[in-house]
Structure formats: C-alpha cells, structure tokens
Chain A
Amino acid sequence: AQKITQTQPGMFVQEKEAVTLDCTYDTSDPSYGLFWYKQPSSGEMIFLIYQGSYDQQNATEGRYSLNFQKARKSANLVISASQLGDSAMYFCAMRGPSGNEKLTFGTGTRLTIIP
C-alpha cells in the first residue's frame, strides 16, 4: 500500500524567503511518481511539479524544485523567493506503477506568506 506523510500542518514564511515543504512516502513498488499540488482558497487543484522514481535529476519548474531523496523516501518541495500569492494549501501525492495509477494524497501543509 502507498502512503504519503506531510508532517507540517502549517507554516509561516516571510515574503521573498525560500521555503521547504516536507513529504515522505512509503511504497514497495520500484516504479512510482510524486506530485505536488497547490490548492488556493478558491479550491482548485493546481499541478506544480512531478518526479518519477527513475528520473536521474531532481525536477524543477520555475520557482519550484523537488528535492528527491530516494533512499530516505522523501520528496520535499522547495519554493524559492516566496510571494504573497504562494499562500495556499500544498499537497504531496504519489501514483503507483503503470496499471495502478490512482493518486494517494498527504494531508497537506497550509503555507502562509507574511509581507
């Protein structure tokens, strides 16, 4: 069974600082993928970044990067130069191998950016 753990219910960060949101996962499958989603107060799920288990390099998308440490089973999201618009809920999620592609979500981290 797949499991995602996010241990930070809430975080407060000063604007323009970098922030790391923690995510650890558990799976027995060698093939899997890790996602980060942003959910603003409006409620939609916004895809941020994806890391496949066989990807050699850490994923990056603009100000977002994923610190993937396979041996530790962690996939932390790093947001550089935080902005007020980054205030939202952030969810880590994992998909299984081909044929088991449903996503398992963590409980989320509420990030608040302070001006």
Chain B
Amino acid sequence: NAGVTQTPKFRILKIGQSMTLQCTQDMNHNYMYWYRQDPGMGLKLIYYSVGAGITDKGEVPNGYNVSRSTTEDFPLRLELAAPSQTSVYFCASSYSTGQVYGYTFGSGTRLTVV
C-alpha cells in the first residue's frame, strides 16, 4: 500500500502565485487533514474532511481552500501565495474502529514563497 501520497515534495512560489498541493490515500479512510508546520514548531490544522463532500476549517484556514470530491483525494489550494505561507505541509488520513484509532501522514511538501 502506498498510504498517503503528497505531491510535490518541494516547491518555490512567487508572491501572488497560486498552486495546489495534492494528497491521495489508498486506505479508504474517511477522515483527511491538512497541517502546516512552521520551523521549530508543532503542526497546526488548516482544514479537515470527515468524508467526500464534507470539509471544515481548522485552526489556521486563512489563505487556503480545500475540496473533497472523492474518498481518496484531498487537495489544498493556495490562491495568492504570501511569504507567511512558507512552511512544510503535511496531509494525513485516519480511521477509527471501536477504540482503535490510526493516523497516517504523508511525507510532506516543503513550500517556499519568495
């Protein structure tokens, strides 16, 4: 199984440009998440989804948009890139079965806005 696949791994954007960070999971997990990690800090939740067609804002949603048209895909859109969006972005998915919870993280996308 591939798990959670993020593309691209690295990207440099100019201020004002837009881009989409791709995230795909092949585990049939209902829950998917986007986090950002600033240097030396913990992960902060940008957006999450509890299933296809359902998304909700996390702690730091400003400047981002998401969609969830299928169970597998959860892309993150940056419309007008700003230097403050320079960060490492992690996509994750999760399942729960009774009292068992499992989270799988992608390998991250390192984004620099210049």
Residues of A within 8 A of B (CB): 4, 6, 33, 35, 43-45, 47, 50, 52, 54, 91, 93, 95, 98-99, 101-108
Partner-A contacts on B (CB < 8 A)? 31, 33, 35, 40-45, 48, 50, 58, 88, 90, 92, 94, 96, 99, 101, 103, 105, 107-108, 110
Report whether over half of chain B's contact residues are helix, strand or loop; otherwise say mixed.
strand
Chain A residue, CB-CB nearest to B33: A102
Chain B: CB-nearest residue to A95: B101
Residue of B nearest to A107 (CB): B42
Complex Cα gap A101–B99 (Å):
12
Given contacts A50-B101, A52-B99, A54-B99, contact A108 B107 (CB under 8 A): no
Complex formed: what's the CA distance from A6 to B31 in Å? 26
A105 and B42 in contact, given A50-B101, A52-B99 (Cβ under 8 angstroms): yes
Contacts of B103 in A (CB 8 A): 35, 47, 95, 103
B88:A43 contact, CB within 8 angstroms? yes
Note all chain A residues with C-beta closer than 8 A to B40. Answer: 108
B71 to chain A, nearest CB (A): 16
Write out the residue numbers on chain A whose beta carbons fall within 8 Å of the beta carbon of B96: 98, 101
Contact in complex: B105, A102 (CB < 8 Å): no
Q: Which residues of A contact B31 (CB under 8 A)?
A: 101-102
Are A105 and B43 also in contact (CB < 8 A) when A52-B99, A98-B96 are?
yes
Complex CA distance for A108 and B88, rounded to whole angstroms: 15
Q: Are B45's CB and A104's CB within 8 A?
A: yes
A54 / chain B contacts, CB cutoff of 8 Å: 99
* Residues of the B chain whose Cβ atoms lie less than 8 Å from the Cβ of A95: 101, 103
